[in-house]
Amino acid sequence: MTHDLIRDAPGPQPRRPSRQILVGRVPIGGGAPVTVQSMTNTDTRDARETLRQVGQLAEAGADLVRVAVPDAQAVRALGEICSGSDVPIVADIHFDHRLALGAIAAGAAKVRINPGNLGRARYVEEVASAATRAGVPLRVGVNAGSLPAEIIESAGVTPEGMVQAALDQVRILERVGFEDLVISLKASNVAVTVRANELMAGRVDYPLHLGVTEAGSFARGSVKSAVGLGYLLGRGIGDTLRVSLTGDPVDEVRVALGILSAWGLRQSGPEIISCPTCGRCRVDLLRIVDEVERSVEGVRAPIKIAVMGCEVNGPGEARDADVGLACGRGVGLLMREGKVLKKVSEEDMVEELVALVEAYLASQP
Ligand code: SF4
């Protein structure tokens, strides 16, 4: 009974209708699956090292990867990065329109820029027409930490102020006829990020890029992003997202995929559930879960795998999983769709579980 109830659980609210843009071959908005992005933290001028990290991010599941383009040398490296990457590359540019033009010429699939920072209107027009010719969309975004002084004066550092600041940037581009846009509104405060995106979602139909900025370390940042981005996605808001964490960007992708799969918005291979352990547990469950995780890393098909710490409550708690293992002292119970199949020895239980995963997937249509 529990099995069916959980499987029939409601998903997020219907997605907010938005227009669709294309970043290379990857659609964003307009009902396309929510995409995951991350950003390299290598020196972009080192094309080899940057490409290596782009590859790691793509391998982890990133649909797009952003790289900082701070100077002309980085623009030169960008050509090699774009042509060597399997995923579209987004160029992150501030202030200098020549870098934006260079990035578009180098093959960037999207450019993140704030037109209000480019100086003269002529520069905005030049970037917009180069982007139009190349079919390259632009992301305009505001960060609560760097709102223009006049907005702070009139609206303060508030969700409304962020929306106004972003719309000012959007209007600059719309005035030159450019509408191939994604908008982002980020703050390090979860509630401010949520409210700003809710407000924007009701005002325009451009796709929204979600993120809680400067979210912090792995644990803190993951929690903040899961709360903020998870809430918005649950309300149907958000077309692409980046989880910002201090540390290895591959973790950003893993967390982003975890947030999406928690809502059923993305299936990122196996979902492994494991119990927190308690006084009944007689095995090193953390080591076993780690081993199982590593053994199924290459699996891309959806499957729910339970790894439980005892054979008393484990089978019941694993009832909702496709396959499971309940670990007792020296033995494990292997389960499939809630039914115990057989008892296996502790030394063989991970191997047996992996074989069961393969058998289960092979039997699926
Ligand atoms: S499955 Fe067993 S070991 Fe794990 S929390 Fe439940 S009772 Fe404790």
Query: 355: domain range?
Result: 270-362
Domain boundary among 199, 228, 262: 262
Last residue of a domain, one of 204, 237, 262: 262
**Residue 2 within any structural domain of the chain:** no
Nearest residue (CA) to ligand 1, atom 6? 313
Q: Residue 9 pLDDT more than 70?
A: no
Same domain, 218 and 285: no
Would the CB of 314 count as within 6 Å of ligand 1?
yes
Domain count of the chain? 2
* Ligand 1 centroid from CA 343, angstroms: 18
β-sheet bridge partners, residue 27: 22
Residue-wise pLDDT tens digits, 11-36: 889 999 999 999 999 999 999 999 99
69 and 170 share one domain: yes
Q: pLDDT band at 326, cuts 50/70/90?
A: very high
Please write the tens of the pLDDT for every residue from 211-228: 999 878 999 999 999 999
CB 67 within 8 A of CB 82: no
Question: For a substitution probing ligand 1, which of 281, 307, 319, 327 has the most ligand atoms within 8 Å of its CB?
Answer: 281
Residue nearest to atom 2 of ligand 1 (CA): 310
Q: What is the CATH number of the domain that holds 301?
A: 3.30.413.10
Prediction pTM value: 0.85
Sheet holding 270-274, edge to edge: 270-274, 303-308, 323-327, 331-336, 339-345
What CATH number is attached to the domain comprising 126?
A: 3.20.20.20
Q: Average the pLDDT over 186-200 and give the result.
A: 97
Per-residue pLDDT, averaged over 253-274, amounts to: 89
pLDDT of 259 higher than 80: yes
Asked whether residue 47 falls in the same domain as residue 106, the answer is: yes
Q: Which residue has the tokens 């494991």?
A: 274
pLDDT band at 114; cut points 50, 70, 90 = confident
Residue 118 pLDDT? 78
Determine, yes or no, domain membership for 171.
yes
Gap from CA of 107 to ligand 1 centroid (Å): 53
Determine whether the shortest distance from the Cβ of 318 to ligand 1 is under 6 A. no
Q: Given pLDDT bands bounded at 50, 70 and 90, which one contains residue 7?
A: low
**Shared-domain flag, residues 255 and 282:** no
Q: What is the C-alpha to C-alpha distance for residues 361 and 257, in angstroms, rounded to an integer?
A: 21
User: Is residue 222 domain-shared with residue 333, that is, in the same domain?
Assistant: no
Is residue 251 one of the residues assigned to a domain?
A: yes
Same domain (yes/no): 254, 282: no
Nearest residue to 229 via CA among 198, 274, 273: 198
DSSP letters spanning 163-195: HHHHHHHHHHHHHTT---EEEEEE-SSHHHHHH
Do 15 and 64 lie in a common domain? yes
Torsion of CA 199, 204, 207, 213, to 10 degrees: -30
| Same domain for 277 and 258 | no
Half-sphere exposure of 90 (CA within 13 A, CB side): 27
Residue 4, pLDDT score = 47
Q: 268 C-alpha to center of ligand 1: Å?
A: 26
Query: Are 282 and 257 in a shared domain?
Result: no
- Percentage of the residues of the chain whose pLDDT score is greater than 70: 97
Is the same domain home to 219 and 339? no
Q: How many residues does the chain have?
A: 365
Identify the H or E element spanning 236: none
- Reply yes or no on whether the pLDDT at 360 is more than 80: yes
Answer yes or no: is 253 within a domain. yes
**Is 132 touching ligand 1 by the criterion CB < 6 Å?**
no
In the predicted model, what is the mean pLDDT of residues 237-255? 95
pLDDT at 71 over 70: yes
**Contact predicate 40/57, CB 8 Å:** yes
308 lines ligand 1 (CB under 6 A): yes
280 & 247 share domain: no
Tell me the backbone φ, ψ of residue 72, rounded to 5 degrees.
-65, -35
**Nearest CA residue ID for atom 5, ligand 1:** 277
1 part of a folded domain? no
User: Among 262, 280, 314, which residue terminates a domain?
Assistant: 262
DSSP letter, residue 158: S
- Closest Cα to atom 7 of ligand 1: 313
Mutating to test ligand 1, I would choose from 273, 274, 277, 307 the residue with most ligand atoms within 8 A of its C-beta, which is: 277
Contact criterion met (CB below 8 Å) for 334 and 340 = yes
Pairing of strands 64-68, 181-186: unpaired
Q: Quote the CA–CA distance of 311 and 54 in Å, as a whole number.
A: 43
pLDDT of residue 197: 98
Average pLDDT, the chain: 93
pLDDT class of 8 with cuts at 50, 70, 90: low
> Taking residues 319-333, what's their average pLDDT?
94
Confirm whether 274 is domain-assigned.
Answer: yes
Could you tell me if residue 234 is inside a domain? yes
**What single DSSP character describes residue 339?**
E
Count other Cβ atoms within 10 Å, centred on residue 49. 14
Cβ count within 10 A of residue 339 = 10
Q: Is the CB of 319 under 6 A from ligand 1?
A: no
For residue 271, which amino acid is it?
A: E
Interval 99-110: pLDDT, tens: 999 999 999 999
Largest CA distance in the chain: 74
Do residues 188 and 288 share a domain? no
pLDDT in tens, 81-96: 999 999 999 999 988 9
φ, ψ for residue 229 (rounded to 5)? -70, -35
Evaluate whether 203 touches 163 at the Cβ level (below 8 Å). yes
111 belongs to a structural domain: yes
**Higher confidence at residue 5 or residue 117?**
117
Alpha helices of 249-306 — where are they, by DSSP H? 249-262, 285-295
Read off the pLDDT of residues 133-155 as tens digits, 9 standing for 90 and up: 999 999 998 999 888 889 999 99
Distance between CA atoms of residues 205 and 342, nearest Å: 54
Cβ 71 vs Cβ 95: under 8 Å: no
Whether 5 shows a pLDDT value over 90: the answer reads no
pLDDT of residue 248: 93
C-alpha distances out from residue 364 to 10, 242, 303, Å: 23, 33, 10
Rg of the chain over Cα atoms, rounded to whole angstroms, equals 23
